[in-house]
Amino acid sequence: MHLRKLGPFECSPIGLGCMNLSHAYGAPPPAAHSERLLHAALDMGYTLFDTAAVYGFGENENLLGRALGKKRHRFVLASKCGMFRNDAGVRTIDGRPEVIRKTCEESLQRLGTDVIDLYYLHRVDRAVSVEESVGMLSDLVAEGKIRAIGLSEVSADTLRRAHAIHPVAAVQTEYSLWTRNPEIAVLEACRELGVTFVAFSPLARGFLTGKLTDIAALDSRDIRRNMPRFEARNYARNLDLLGEVKKVAMKEGCTLAQLALAWLLGRDENIVPIPGTTSLDHLRENYSAMGVTLTAESSARLDRLINQSTVAGARYNAATQMEIDTEEF
């Protein structure tokens, strides 16, 4: 397997996003199932596991600590700070240095480790300069509590400001056929600065698998219910796009999910997608996408079929979009 660079590390070209094992898409699976899936991922060859303090309000980090703590040397561990639960029990964005330090200490405890390999600022706190937040992350590197710094959902300008304080190893932002915002400026900034781009939701929260056809069946707590692209009228229009995409997958001899991941892997060696799943079958399917190399013709056709001009609906609602520091189409 050809590894990809991730800051000072090397990892599998496809990593595992662990959020949905504890958070965001309705009731999480039983803990025993999640632990089996994490072990299977490691044995399969996944070597990047991505979590965050806010996922399940600490439970996702607890899960990784229990399941993989004794195999810590076998993978790159990524987590995030700057977004957690405040004293009133409400999810909040807080990038104050003292809060970042406290969150890191708590994450280390939950993860059962002395050091986190890659530690992201999950969101930029508009009340705190990114220089202040990154300054504390730099202190945590110096103290040996984290090894490398990442940023999540940031603009190219914010990345450059942060990078001037301390080298940034990775930027994590949503990127897939149906979310092209990083192509505006962040991808180029990452190339310029030598920063790895980690693509979350590379399967468009299930849309690009072709398996999510009935959004009415989504759990009432599923975050997609509040996303404009998953509103009934928009989603019906978006599903219509998949007809021609399926023809490309048939031509390439792969599944829709593998097609979407192969498209991303082929964009740049600097990109590492981190699809999440609760299914062992999908875990294997996603990992196998590394064996798919698209023809230039297929890649160009996909570009034309699904892009910012053909997808219906914004990726976030107005309230959530206010929290995001990225360039948007």
Q: Which residues of 194-236 form beta strands (DSSP E)?
A: 196-200
Q: What residues pair up with 79 in beta bridges, in sequence order?
A: 119
Instruction: Compute φ and ψ for 122, nearest 5 degrees.
Output: -65, -40
Taking the C-alpha atoms of residue 21 and residue 71, their distance in angstroms, rounded to an integer, is 19
How many whole angstroms separate alpha carbon 251 and alpha carbon 266?
A: 17
Annotation marks residue 120 as catalytic = no
Contact call for residues 167 and 138 (beta carbons, < 8 A): no
85 Rama sector, left if φ>0, alpha if ψ -120 to 50, beta otherwise: beta
Of 202, 150, 176, 178, the C-alpha closest to 16 is: 202
Amino acid at 291: G
- Angle CA 14–298–16, to nearest 5: 10
**Going by C-beta distance under 8 Å and a sequence separation of 6 or more, which residues neighbour residue 230?**
205, 215, 218, 224, 313
Residues in Cβ contact with 118 at an 8 Å cutoff, skipping those fewer than 6 apart? 6, 7, 9, 76, 77, 78, 79, 146, 147, 148, 149, 150, 169, 170
Selected catalytic residue, list 55, 119, 235, 316: 55
Strand order in the sheet with 16-17: 16-17, 48-50, 76-81, 116-121, 146-152, 168-174, 196-200, 271-273
Q: Which residues contact 251 (CB under 8 A, 6 or more apart)?
A: 298
**Which residues form the catalytic set?**
55
